Structure 1
Amino acid sequence: MRNVMKAAASLVALTVVAGAAQAATCGNSAKGFQGFIKEFRKEAAAAGVSERGLSLLDGVEYQPAIIKKDRSQSVFSLSFLKFQDRMVSDYRIKEGRAIIKRNKKLFDAIEERYGVPGEVLVAFWAFETDFGKNLGDFPTVPSLATLAWDCRRPERFREQLLGALRLYDNGDLDRDDMHGAWAGEIGLTQFLPKEYFENAVDFDGDGHRNLIKSIPDAMASSAALLVKHGWQANQPYIEEVTVPADLPWDQADIAIQHPRSQWVKWGVKGAHGKLKADKFPASLLLPMGKDGPAFLAYQNFTDAYLLWNESLVYSLTAAYLATRIAGADKLDPGRAQVNALSYEQIIELQKILAAKGLDVGEVDGKLGRATRQAVKQEQTRLGWPADSYPTVEFLAALKRG
């Protein structure tokens, strides 16, 4: 394996190539794709990728099935309760606990070095590949090349394509290893190639950073990435709470923090024990609005979890699974039935808000930060509790004007 210390020097080259590629054209079909590959090969070579790495581009063809996958991620439009019901199973809780017990020395060593507890890492492992049972069989380079040529997010995937070439060039992965999820993620916890190249660690000491076959490497590398994202040792990530029938709902926002003492003063209580009334900062997270489940979200969640995956429903459910593996009780679904929007209704909502001049981000059927902020503005205008969550009833009111 070539010297991994080259990684630091290559970061500048990664930036240069990504910047150059962004200036190139893009396309939404196979037309022009081979020209893009030819130009990308030149740019990657200029960044220091050798013929070994460049050889992964030989014979690469456009993959229309990958674009179809990219346009149909409606699972992230599910409500939090539906998503967690699908993802947090008794099997995953029990298996997660068993894995930590069987590998106690490993997880203790990782936590000692990185400050990330085992249940957090194992929950991501469960979510990403079902404990390694489903690593994916999409060819990494053709998938990334297709997404790098596509006009939706070319700048993101061009740096990932370069990262994939570097992983092979560096000797971290063999050619047969270059397959995984449809969007290019690789290994037990599904690292994108750039993050793999920059952050993976050889925790088992065999001289290779193998996130596909080595559990120690995969778990420790996941911890290292969370630390890079801002994880703080010995600090909480989420805590389930209950909320009163009324409070300043506009303060329930992932971007707003108050001391726990203020939340207690407003009537927020611990769901499974007394909530500390101290100065520790926390955001009140209502994934389904004022009538659904409630959590206090701490910096380890707002920073590390949401940088691992920007989908709020995904990150919150992963964190919730971690708490269950650690021994927490099943969550309280809230005080009342919440009529959540479907994927199609979220699209309709986003179009209405955008037509009003509000920033919803991409019209994609997902309740991301921008859409939630736009909802909050309209709730305030209409005199609704500004909890940032749109229900069927809210959409009907919005359509009435």
Structure 2
Amino acid sequence: MCRLFLATCLALAVPALARAAECGGDFGAFVAGLKAEMRAEGLSAAQADAFFRGVSQDARVLRADRGQGVFRKDFLDFSASVISQNRLTIGARMGTKHTAVFDRAERSFGVPRGVLLAFWGLETDFGAVQGDFSTRDALVTLAHDCRRPDLFRPQVLAAARLAARGDFDPARTRGAWAGEIGQVQMLPADILVNGVDGDGDGHIDLKGSAPDALMSGAKMIAGMGWRAGEPWMQEITVPADLDWRQTGLNHALSTADWARMGVRGRTGALAPGQGSVLLPMGRKGPAFMVYPNFRVLFEWNKSFVYVTSAAYFATRLEGAPRLDPRAPEPGLSADQMKALQAKLAARGHDVGKIDGILGEKTREAVQAEQARLGLPADAWPTAALLGRL
């Protein structure tokens, strides 16, 4: 599950390439330009030539980049598809097998094992499925493509730097279609900044070494702002008369205030501090209290349904029971969602791309329109709302 929507500050790591946004045109000339920039950044001509020897464009990468329908699933469907009993079982086994690594990661970076296990499981099935795309070719293909050269062009130099120090083989390293590498699927620039030699062999090998991958993943999450010792998500029960306008990631109250409004932890008390009531499928579906650490996970992946599923998976791996799905109202089809987004955009709401995906911007716009129309403002779009608009 690639981190396609990553929004890291790559310019800090590779300033010269981050300033260069050239893309498209003749592929050979494009590669020649990259070689020149690599030499300007301190790599030798021999290193640049070796890195690009045999490089080619990969049409499969571009097809994958344009076909991410999986994120159009609702939370219950998506989470059911990625959180199987088999993954829970293997996750528990891996947690025990690498318990010393998880303990060290939490001591060093404050990230609990459930969170690391969840991303390890969702990204690569605990290292079993790491992708079969040439990482070098994928990165160069996406850098040449003019959709997001500012994201992928810096990654090419980052990969070359990894190669120069012996931690990346441009001819043989394979991974996800968007250029992520290893068991927790990190981009080359992130490896340069957050890579940790977890097994002490003198190299950072995110593909073959679980300790390297887990420690590096923990360092990256910590760098995103993770608060050690604090929760991220907790299943809750909500009263039928809750003020739904206060729910959603764009609203936060103290958990004491939520408790006074009738919100309760399904198992155990609410944690002290600030929290948001998250209703991924509306007021009649599953309900969670999410804490500040939950928002950190969007630095790993920008997809609302992916992050919510990963956070829930992490709670299961830490011993939480299976959620109560309740009985959410039917949602919208992809075409209906696109029509809804178009209507919301026409009313002045920023919903981002009209893509049929219920992301956080669309949810906030839905909630605002529900409130305006006097409907329960739970941010869950329904056919009734579409009809009213």
TM-score interval, smaller chain: over 0.9
1:52 counterpart = 2:47: yes
Other-structure match for 1:333? 325
Which residue type is aligned with residue 365 of structure 1? G
Larger displacement relative to structure 2 (171-180 or 133-142): 171-180
1:384 to 353, 356, 375: 375
Of 284, 306, 314, the residue aligned with 2:306 is: 314
Is the Cα–Cα contact under 8 Å of residues 54 and 171 in structure 2 kept in the other structure? no
Between 1 and 2, higher relative CO (CA 8 Å, sep ≥ 6) is seen in 2
* Residue aligned with 2:120, SS: helix
How far apart, in 2, do the equivalents of 1:394 and 1:135 lie?
A: 41
CA RMSD of aligned residues (A): 1.9
Match of 1:309, SS? coil
Match of 1:39 in 2: 33
2:332 and 2:163 mapped to 1: Cα distance?
44
Task: Tell me if 1:222 matches 2:206.
Answer: no
SS of the residue aligned with 2:96? Answer: helix
Q: Deviations over 1:55-74 (max 9, x none)?
A: 32234222222111111101
Q: Which amino acid is the alignment partner of residue 368 of structure 1? A: G
- Which of residues 259, 281, 286 is equivalent to 1:288? 281
The one of 105, 111, 119 equivalent to 2:114 is 119
* Cα deviation 1:246-304 (Å, max 9, x = unaligned): 2221221213221001111111111123335x4x111111111111111111111112x
Q: Distance in 2 between matches of 1:103 and 1:61?
A: 38
Q: Please give the TM-score of this superposition, normalised by the length of structure 2.
A: 0.92
SS state of the match for residue 289, structure 2?
Answer: strand
Q: Is the CA contact (8 Å cut-off) linking 2:275 and 2:291 kept in structure 1?
A: yes
Paired residue secondary structure (1:175): coil
> 1:13, CA displacement in angstroms?
6.4
The structure-2 alpha-carbon separation of the partners of 1:167 and 1:11, relative to structure 1 and needing over 3 Å to count, comes to farther
Q: Specify whether residues 193 and 292 from structure 1 end up closer, same or farther in structure 2 by C-alpha distance, changes over 3 A only.
A: same
Q: Deviations over 1:57-92 (max 9, x none)?
A: 234222222111111101011000001110111111
Quote the Cα distance in structure 2 between the aligned partners of 1:12 and 1:328: 39
Matched residue, 1:7: none
1:158 equivalenced with 2:149 (yes/no): no
Asked if 1 retains the 8 angstrom alpha-carbon contact of 2:101 and 2:215, the reply is no
Q: Deviations over 1:167-192 (max 9, x none)?
A: 11221123355210111111001111
- Partner residue, 2:249: 254
The one-letter code matched in structure 1 to 2:266 is A
Structure-1-length-normalised TM-score = 0.89
**Equivalent residue number for residue 16 of structure 2:** 16
Match of 2:358 in 1: 367
Of the structure 1 ranges 380-389 and 123-132, higher mean CA displacement relative to structure 2 is found in 380-389
- What is the identity, as a one-letter code, of the residue corresponding to 1:37? V
**Structure 2: distance between partners of 1:74 and 1:238:** 26
Q: Deviations over 1:300-333 (max 9, x none)?
A: 1112x11111111111111111111111100011
Q: Tell me which residue corresponds to 1:351.
A: 342
1:133 matched to 2:131? The reply is no
CA deviations 1:226-253 (Å, max 9, x no partner) are 0000111111011111111122212212
How many pairs align?
A: 379
Q: Which moved more, 1:286-295 or 1:210-219?
A: 286-295
Distance 1:208 1:282, change over 3 A: same
Aligned to 1:196: 191
On the 8 A contact 1:110/1:220 being kept in 2, the answer is yes
How far apart are the structure 2 equivalents of 1:55 and 1:342?
48
Give yes or no for contact 1:119–1:325 (8 Å, CA) kept in 2: yes
Question: CA–CA distance in 2 between the matches of 1:33 and 1:348?
Answer: 38
Matched residue, 2:6? none
Give yes or no for the alignment of 1:95 onto 2:90.
yes
How far has the Cα of 1:161 moved from its partner? 2.1
Matches of 1:357 and 1:391, distance apart in 2: 20
Identity among equivalent pairs (%): 45
- Give the SS at the match of 1:372: helix
1 CA distance for matches of 2:293 and 2:322?
A: 21
* Cα separation, partners in 2 of 1:54 and 1:123, compared to 1, 3 Å: farther
- Cα separation, 2, equivalents of 1:102 and 1:314: 26
> Which structure 2 segments of 5+ residues have no match?
1-9
Distance across 2 between alignment mates of 1:298 and 1:253:
12
Which residue identity does 2:280 align to in structure 1?
P
Please give the secondary structure, in 2, of the residue aligned with 1:247. coil
Q: Name which of 282, 294, 303 aligns with 1:301.
A: 294
